[in-house]
Structures are given as structure tokens and as C-alpha cells.
């Protein structure tokens, strides 16, 4: 009797999520501290900057190692070790390799002699951590305003996470159809295959693969957890950007709350927030990158320009739509520079921004060049979508959140208008104002003007982010009325708290429930099979295309129509199945064909496939009956009200196993 897999059980989720968190912390917290320079001080700004830079590094490293067929954990660790040594040499003024060897030798001898005990090093690290926690606690509880803001931010982030992770924790089936493509491309990266389905930005899939390699959990869990996490990170990015621009944490919290908690009531495809797509991953970097670019024009720090350029380039390496919004933001900031700065600094700063934009475009296009070198073509589906047009595109119907955002934009506009004499001191307000107007124009008029289906269908996603930012900024400007009042900061924080509480109790946001493509039990059986049976020694036979993406890299998958056509149920299974199916064959018989509701927007695309599966189910039922009459090696592996899984065990001798592994097995 084989142990069945319960995806949503506490032990399953705890074991997988802990390993995911540990890998994430190692890759995006510990490694940046070890290899990146200039980040000795721990601050939210430095954490965001480190994250942007390390993600960029991983994407470029992934491209290089996959292209060279060297993409393994050991190769990645060697690269990280080399960068750590480089940083150590630089910080300790080590002149040459021999001096470095002497330093390493001395440290080893000191450890061997007990002069430098590993236990003492751990105690010192533990002491630093405790000191950091104490300092952090002192900061977040320093004033009543700080306490209110930090409690509110924690509540917003936690609520945002619950809304997004709820589905990922309870349902094994991936959310939405695109998730299976993402899953397959992540697995192809792990197998050192670039552009398996022709040229398409692979940045996000490399990112996913890095997490999977260091967590060693099933890629399905990486897929299920990363999508919701990206949604939370977008909300945090809104908080980081707006609180940084306005110097008002409450304004940032309002923006994060609107996107993180009230997304269902904004111009946003809410279901995508619980799915895992490259678009949402690219969105994580838009506002923080533009924040660093804005910070550069105000403080003229080269490191801010580099971080901004890297973040913008990430969006280009991941998703065109996000890259386009970054381009709009850069254009707005360039306009501000050219209309504010004195003659010398104006053109110097503007030129650097232009060069940064050009470099971002060039680096973002390198995967295309790499793909062409590999004799690949552009992904046909993506290319067709980018180029698709329609003549009957209308402007979208505005909803309540749009009107609130337009009111906030009006507030910002009036503030700028009445303070024109302070033109050079209104950079932040002008940036949000022009950026918001540009994005709203793209959302409202972009489709009808360009006739582009992509602009029409996806610009609302961009507007959702920017509208949340404009509302937060509008809130900040309105509350400036009270800036001279006694305890004004606390009053503003309490007002923000009250506004958030009122909205939550009024609309009662519910967790996201994205559509699925299959039953949870079909996915759980894949997890059970991959856990109970040796990798690449089993095959799942089903009528669903999605099962191929699940089995990829773990075992094999064949379709029911192939089984019906090629496998004679009356013959000896060793002769009919051969060695390609492996020793363990699992046939999925759907008692109830999984179907989306007819109201779903992709139902029409799948209706023909549903009819095919119903016909194949009838034929499969007869095939199973005939097989049972002639063979005695078929048992029921699993059964519930919608699915029955049959297990065929084929015994192979050593020669057959060796052929499968080394000779005529499948590729």
C-alpha cells in the first residue's frame, strides 16, 4: 500500500514552505550580504536595492550557465565563492593571490589551534542578530505614530498575503492556464535548455529555477508560492516608493493597502495575483526602480542610478509591458530634469538617464541575440499577441476606483498649480502627476488609438499600480492641511488607520479564487507518484495536456490517444508497452471530466478539447476492461469521486533497465 499525498495538510505545507523560505533567505538576504559591496548599513532602502541587484545577477548568471550547459548548484556556488573572495580581497586590501593564501592559511591554523572557535563566531553572529532585533524594535516603537504605522503596515502585508496564499496552500492545481507554461519553462531551464518553445524572455523562469535548486522542493510548490509572493512584493514596492517619495509612511501604507487588499475593486485582473506569471514578477521592479532613478536626480548618487538601471533592465529581461511602463516613468523623470536643473547639471544628468535607458534596452535584447545564435525564432504565440489588433476596441468603462484615482490626480494637479512659484521644489508631485496622467491615458485611450489588443487588455494592470500610487500621494497632499496642527503626524496615521479599517469592513475582501485547469486530485496523484516511485521510471497516461508539464523532469507522460492507438490490451504488456513506459504506468481515468464554467473567458477555446476527452474516456474504459481480461498486473492506485488511477506494474530484467537508462530510452 502506497502512502497517498495530502497537498493541503499542515505537515506537507510546513515542510515545503520552510524549505522555500530558507532558500529565499539564502539567495536574496544572505548571499547579497556576502558578495555585494556598499551595504553595511541595514535599511529598507538597502534591502530593496540588494534584492534588485541580486535578481539581475542571478538572471544573467542563469543565462550564461544554461547556455554553457553548466547550470548546476555546484557551478552557481563556485561563482558565488569567487565573488565573495573578490569582495574579501577588496575590503582587506590584499595585494595578490599569495597574500590571500597566507590569510586563509592563518585563519585555518587559528581555528585548528582554538584561537578562532566556530562556536565563538556563532555567538558573535547571534549577538549581532539580537542587537539588530533590539534596534529594529526600538525604531518601530519609538513614537505613537511609529507604532500605529508599523501595526497598520504589518496588518496590510499580512492581509495581502492571506488573500493571495490561501489558494496556493489549499489547492494543488496550479492557478490559470499560463501557470503550466511557466512550470514547464522553469523545468527546461533546470535541464539546461534555453528557449525550448522559441525565443521568449526567460528571466523569471531562471529566477524560479534558482529557488527550486536551492530549496530542492518539487517545482510545483515553487510555482504555487512564488506567484502570491510577487503580489505581496508589488504591494510592498508601492509602500516603499510612495513612503520614500512623500516621506510619509501612512501615504505608502494607503497605496499598498489599495493594491494588496482592494485589488478586486480596482482595474486589476485580481485572479492573476494568485497565479504565477512573468508579468507580475516584472511589476515588482517598476516603482522601486523609478524611485531610485528619482532619488538619483535629487541626490546625484551614482549607486542610485546603477540600481535604477538594473531594475529597469530586469523588467526588460522579464516582460515587455512592464518595460514599457518603466520607459514612460523614465521619460517623465527626464522631463523633470530638463525643466528644473541649472544648465550644466540639467544636460549632464539628462544624458546619463538617456544612456541608462539605452543600456537597459541593449541588455534586455541580448537574450534575443542569444536565441538567434541558437537558431531559434521568436515565440509565435507571444509575437502574435504583441502584433494582434482589432478595429472595434473601445475605451474601458471607468469604475469607482478609477474616479477616486482621478480625484487624487486632480488634488495633486491643484497643489502644483497653486504652488507654481515653487516649481523646482515640486519634483515629487510633478513626477506622480505626469506619470499618473500618462498611464491613465495609455489605459483609457491606448487601445482605441493603437488598436492593439495587448495594450487594451493589459494596460489596466499598469494603471492599477499607478492609480494606487496616485491615491496614496493624493492622501498625503490632503493631510498636509494639518501639518501645523499639534500631533499632526499621529493624527494622520490614525486617519490612515481609520480609512483602512472602514474600507475593510465595508467591502470585506475575500481570498482570491483563480480558475483551474484540472482537479486537485490529478495533481496530488502526480505528487504521490513522484514521491513513491523512482524518478524517470514511471509514466502517467492521461488525456490532459497539463499533465505533461507536471511530469516533466520527474517522470514521463503519454496521452490516452497514444495508448489507445499503439498499445494492444490483449498482448503481453512487456511486448506492447516496451521499455519506453518504464516499470510503473499510471492511467488516469476521469470519472468526471474537469470543465471550466461556460462563463469563463477561455471556455470556448477549451470546449472542443472537453469533447475529445469525453470520447477518449469511453474508449479508455473499454481498453481497461479488455486489459483486465488478458492481464493480471493492473491495480487501482487511487480513487475518489472524480478520478480513478490504475497502476500497471511491468517487471524488467537488468538488461531492459540498462537499455532504458543508457540505450533506447526516451529523450
Give the mean pLDDT of 553-571: 89
Q: What is the pTM of this model?
A: 0.92
Q: Which grid cell is 436?
A: 499618473
Give the mean pLDDT of 157-172: 94
pLDDT at 571: 85
Give the mean pLDDT of 265-293: 91
Give the pLDDT band (50/70/90) at residue 517: very high
Give the mean pLDDT of 32-39: 86
Of the candidate ranges 4-8, 73-77, 309-313, the one whose mean pLDDT is the lowest: 4-8
| Cβ atoms 587, 620 nearer than 8 A | yes
Give the mean pLDDT of 50-65: 95
Handedness of CA 592, 598, 602, 607 (dihedral sign): positive
pLDDT at 2: 64
Q: Which grid cell is 450?
A: 493603437
Q: What is the largest CA-CA distance in the chain?
A: 92
CA distance 591 to 617: 8
CA distance 38 to 90: 12
Give the pLDDT band (50/70/90) at residue 111: low
236-278 pLDDT per residue, tens: 999 999 999 999 898 999 999 999 998 888 877 888 888 999 9
pLDDT at residue 343 greater than cutoff 60:
no
CA distance 324 to 320: 6
pLDDT at 662: 56
pLDDT at 147: 81
Share of the chain above pLDDT 90, in %: 55
Which carries the bigger pLDDT value, residue 115 or residue 125? 125
CA distance 23 to 217: 10
622-651 pLDDT per residue, tens: 999 999 998 888 999 999 999 999 999 988
| H or E stretch covering 538 | strand 538-542
Give the mean pLDDT of 115-122: 65
**Chain-centre distance for alpha carbon 202:** 12
Give the pLDDT band (50/70/90) at residue 18: very high
pLDDT at 40: 75
Handedness of CA 659, 547, 551, 63 (dihedral sign): positive
User: Helix or strand or coil: residue 309?
Assistant: helix
pLDDT at 667: 39
pLDDT at residue 588 greater than cutoff 90:
yes
Give the mean pLDDT of 82-99: 77
Give the mean pLDDT of 421-439: 89
Which carries the bigger pLDDT value, residue 144 or residue 169? 169
Q: How many C-beta neighbours within 10 Å does residue 549 have?
A: 23
318-333 pLDDT per residue, tens: 999 999 999 999 999 9
Which carries the bigger pLDDT value, residue 89 or residue 616? 616
pLDDT at residue 97 greater than cutoff 70:
no
Question: Taking the chain, what is the end-to-end CA distance rounded to the nearest angstrom?
Answer: 31
pLDDT at 442: 94
Give the pLDDT band (50/70/90) at residue 665: very low
| Cβ atoms 237, 468 nearer than 8 A | no
pLDDT at 480: 79
pLDDT at 657: 61
Exposure class string for 570-609: b at 16+ Cβ within 10 A, else e: eeebeebbebebbbbbbbbbbeebbebeeeeeeeeebeee
CA distance 209 to 205: 6
pLDDT at 116: 64
Give the mean pLDDT of 514-536: 91
Walk across the sheet containing 538-542 and list its strands: 556-559, 538-542, 584-590, 643-649, 634-639
Average pLDDT, the chain: 87
pLDDT at 218: 94
pLDDT at 89: 79
Q: What is the 3-state secondary structure (H, E, C) of 338-388?
A: HHHCCHHHHHHHHHHHHHHHHHHHHHHHHHHHHHHHCCCCECHHHHHHHHC
Amino acid at each position: 500500500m502506497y502512502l497517498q499525498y495530502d497537498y493541503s495538510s499542515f505537515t506537507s505545507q510546513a515542510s515545503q514552505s520552510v524549505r522555500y523560505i530558507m532558500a529565499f533567505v539564502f539567495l536574496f538576504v544572505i548571499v547579497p550580504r556576502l558578495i555585494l559591496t556598499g551595504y553595511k548599513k541595514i535599511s529598507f532602502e538597502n534591502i530593496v536595492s540588494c534584492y534588485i541587484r541580486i535578481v539581475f545577477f542571478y538572471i544573467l548568471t542563469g543565462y550564461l550557465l544554461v547556455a554553457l550547459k553548466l547550470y548546476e548548484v555546484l557551478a552557481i556556488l563556485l561563482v558565488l565563492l569567487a565573488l565573495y573572495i573578490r569582495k574579501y580581497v577588496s575590503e582587506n586590501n590584499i595585494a595578490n593571490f599569495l597574500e590571500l593564501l597566507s590569510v586563509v592559511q592563518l585563519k585555518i591554523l587559528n581555528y585548528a589551534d582554538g584561537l578562532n572557535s566556530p562556536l565563538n563566531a556563532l555567538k558573535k553572529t547571534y549577538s549581532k542578530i539580537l542587537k539588530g532585533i533590539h534596534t529594529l524594535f526600538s525604531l518601530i516603537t519609538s513614537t505613537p505614530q511609529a507604532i500605529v504605522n508599523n501595526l497598520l503596515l504589518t496588518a496590510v502585508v499580512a492581509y495581502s498575503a492571506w488573500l493571495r496564499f490561501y489558494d496556493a496552500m489549499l489547492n494543488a492545481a496550479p492557478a490559470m492556464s499560463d501557470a503550466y507554461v511557466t512550470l514547464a519553462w522553469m523545468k527546461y531551464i533546470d535541464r539546461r535548455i534555453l528557449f525550448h518553445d522559441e525565443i521568449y524572455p526567460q528571466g523569471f523562469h531562471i529566477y524560479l529555477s534558482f529557488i527550486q535548486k536551492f530549496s530542492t522542493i518539487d517545482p510545483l510548490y515553487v510555482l504555487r508560492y512564488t506567484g502570491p509572493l510577487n503580489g505581496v512584493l508589488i504591494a510592498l514596492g508601492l509602500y516603499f516608493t510612495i513612503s520614500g517619495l512623500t516621506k510619509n509612511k501612512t501615504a505608502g501604507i494607503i497605496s499598498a493597502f489599495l493594491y494588496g487588499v482592494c485589488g478586486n475593486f480596482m482595474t486589476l485582473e485580481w485572479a492573476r495575483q494568485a497565479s504565477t506569471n512573468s508579468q507580475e514578477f516584472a511589476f515588482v521592479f517598476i516603482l522601486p526602480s523609478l524611485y531610485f532613478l528619482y532619488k538619483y536626480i535629487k541626490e546625484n548618487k551614482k549607486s542610485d542610478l546603477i540600481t535604477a538601471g538594473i531594475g529597469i533592465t530586469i523588467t526588460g529581461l522579464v516582460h515587455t509591458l512592464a518595460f514599457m511602463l518603466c520607459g514612460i516613468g523614465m521619460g517623465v523623470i527626464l522631463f523633470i530634469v530638463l525643466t528644473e536643473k541649472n544648465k550644466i547639471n540639467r544636460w549632464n544628468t539628462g544624458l546619463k538617464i538617456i544612456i541608462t535607458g539605452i543600456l537597459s534596452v541593449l541588455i534586455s535584447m541580448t537574450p534575443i541575440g542569444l536565441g538567434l545564435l541558437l537558431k531559434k525564432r521568436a515565440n509565435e504565440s507571444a509575437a502574435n499577441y504583441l502584433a494582434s489588433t482589432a478595429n472595434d476596441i473601445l475605451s474601458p468603462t471607468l469604475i469607482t476606483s478609477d474616479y477616486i484615482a482621478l480625484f487624487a490626480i486632480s488634488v495633486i494637479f491643484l497643489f502644483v498649480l497653486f504652488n507654481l512659484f515653487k516649481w523646482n521644489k515640486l519634483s515629487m508631485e510633478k513626477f506622480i502627476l505626469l506619470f499618473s496622467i500618462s498611464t491613465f491615458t495609455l489605459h483609457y485611450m491606448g487601445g482605441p488609438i493603437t488598436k492593439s489588443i495587448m495594450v487594451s487588455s493589459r494596460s489596466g494592470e499598469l494603471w492599477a499600480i499607478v492609480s494606487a500610487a496616485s491615491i496614496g500621494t493624493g492622501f498625503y497632499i490632503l493631510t498636509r492641511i494639518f501639518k501645523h496642527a499639534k500631533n499632526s503626524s499621529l493624527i494622520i496615521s490614525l486617519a490612515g488607520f481609520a480609512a483602512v479599517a472602514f474600507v475593510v469592513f465595508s467591502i470585506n475582501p475575500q481570498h482570491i479564487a483563480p480558475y483551474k485547469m484540472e482537479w486537485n486530485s490529478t495533481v496530488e496523484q502526480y505528487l504521490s507518484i513522484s514521491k513513491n516511485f523512482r524518478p524517470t521510471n514511471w509514466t502517467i497516461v492521461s488525456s490532459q495536456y497539463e499533465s505533461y508539464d507536471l511530469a516533466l523532469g520527474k517522470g514521463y507522460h503519454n496521452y490516452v490517444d497514444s495508448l489507445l492507438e499503439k498499445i494492444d490490451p490483449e498482448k503481453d504488456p512487456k511486448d506492447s508497452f516496451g521499455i519506453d513506459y518504464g516499470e510503473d504506468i499510471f492511467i488516469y481515468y476521469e470519472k468526471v471530466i474537469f470543465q471550466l464554467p461556460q462563463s469563463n473567458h477561455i471556455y470556448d477555446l477549451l470546449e472542443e478539447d472537453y469533447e475529445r476527452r469525453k470520447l477518449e474516456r469511453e474508449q479508455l474504459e473499454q481498453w481497461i476492461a479488455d486489459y483486465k481480461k488478458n492481464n493480471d498486473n493492473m491495480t487501482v492506485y487511487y480513487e475518489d469521486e472524480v478520478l480513478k488511477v490504475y497502476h500497471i506494474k511491468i517487471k524488467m530484467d537488468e538488461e531492459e533497465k540498462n537499455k532504458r537508462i543508457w540505450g533506447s530510452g526516451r529523450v
